[in-house]
Amino acid sequence: MFFERPESGEIAVLVHIDFNDQEDRHGPEEFVELAISAGADPVAVVTGSRQRPDSKFFVGTGKLDEIKDIVIREEAQVVLFDHALSPSQERNLESVLKCRVLDRTGLILDIFAQRARTHEGKLQVELAQLQHMSTRLIRGWTHLERQKGGIGMRGPGETQLETDRRLLRDRIKAIQKRLEKVNSQRDQSRRARSRSDVPTISLVGYTNAGKSTLFNRATGAEVYAADQLFATLDPTLRRLDLEQVGAVVLADTVGFIRKLPHRLVKAFQATLKESAEADLLLHVVDAADVNRDENIAAVDDVLNEIGANELPMLKVFNKIDALPTGEARIDRDEQGNPTRVWLSAREGIGIDLLEQAIAELLSEEIVKETIIVPASLGRFRAMLFEQGAVKGETYDELGQSVLELCLPRKDYLQILARVGMSEEQIQAA
- The class level of CATH for 366-428 reads alpha beta
pLDDT above 70: percentage of residues in the chain: 78
**344 is annotated as contributing to ligand binding:** yes
135 is an annotated ligand-binding site residue: no
The reply to whether 304 sits in an annotated binding site is no
Q: What is the mean pLDDT of residues 288-306?
A: 87
Q: Is 211 one of the annotated binding-site residues?
A: yes
Q: What's the pLDDT score for residue 148?
A: 47
pTM for this model (two decimals): 0.66
Residue 337 is labelled as binding a ligand: no
Mean pLDDT on 55-65: 93
315 is in an annotated binding site: no
Give the pLDDT band (50/70/90) at residue 210: confident
Report the alpha-carbon distance of residue 298 to residue 296 in Å, rounded: 5
321 is in an annotated binding site: yes
> Does the annotation place 412 within a ligand binding site?
no
- pLDDT, tens digit, 9 for 90 and up, residues 379-407: 999 999 887 788 889 998 888 999 988 77
Q: How many CA atoms lie within 13 A of 119 on its CB side?
A: 6
User: Is 136 annotated as belonging to a binding site?
Assistant: no
Please tell me whether 206 is known to bind a ligand. yes
pLDDT exceeds 50 at position 139:
no
Q: What is the pLDDT of residues 249-266, one digit of tens each?
A: 888 877 777 777 666 676
Band (pLDDT 50/70/90 cuts) for residue 31 is confident
Domain 10-102 has CATH 3.40.50.11060: yes
Does 307 count as an annotated binding residue?
no
Q: Which of 327, 330, 256, 259 is nearest to 296 (CA)?
A: 256
Domain ranges of the chain: 10-102, 197-362, 366-428
148-203 confidence digits (pLDDT tens): 444 444 445 556 667 777 788 888 888 888 877 877 776 666 565 555 567 888 88
Is the separation of the CB atoms in 420 and 365 below 8 Å? no
Is residue 414 scored above 60 in pLDDT?
A: yes
What's the rounded mean pLDDT across residues 278-305? 88
Asked if residue 318 belongs to a known ligand binding site, the reply is yes
pLDDT value of position 118: 67
- Asked whether this chain's domains 10-102 and 197-362 adopt the same fold, the reply is yes
DSSP characters over 194-225: HHTT--EEEEEEBTTSSHHHHHHHHH------
With bands split at pLDDT 50, 70 and 90, how would you rate the model's confidence at 221? low
Mean pLDDT check: name the lowest of 78-92, 136-150, 391-405: 136-150
The answer to the question of whether 253 is labelled as a binding residue is: yes
| pLDDT for res 141 | 41
Q: What is the band of 37 on the pLDDT scale with cuts at 50, 70, 90?
A: confident
| Interstrand relation of 11-19 and 41-50 (parallel, antiparallel or unpaired) | parallel
Q: Is 234 annotated as a binding residue?
A: yes
Annotation-wise, does 210 bind a ligand?
yes
Tell whether 231 is in a known binding site.
yes
Architecture of domain 197-362: 3-Layer(aba) Sandwich (3.40)
Predicted confidence band of residue 224 (pLDDT cuts 50, 70, 90): very low
Q: What is the pLDDT of residue 161?
A: 67
Closest CA to 317 of 411, 237, 206, 425: 206
Q: What is the pLDDT of residue 285?
A: 94
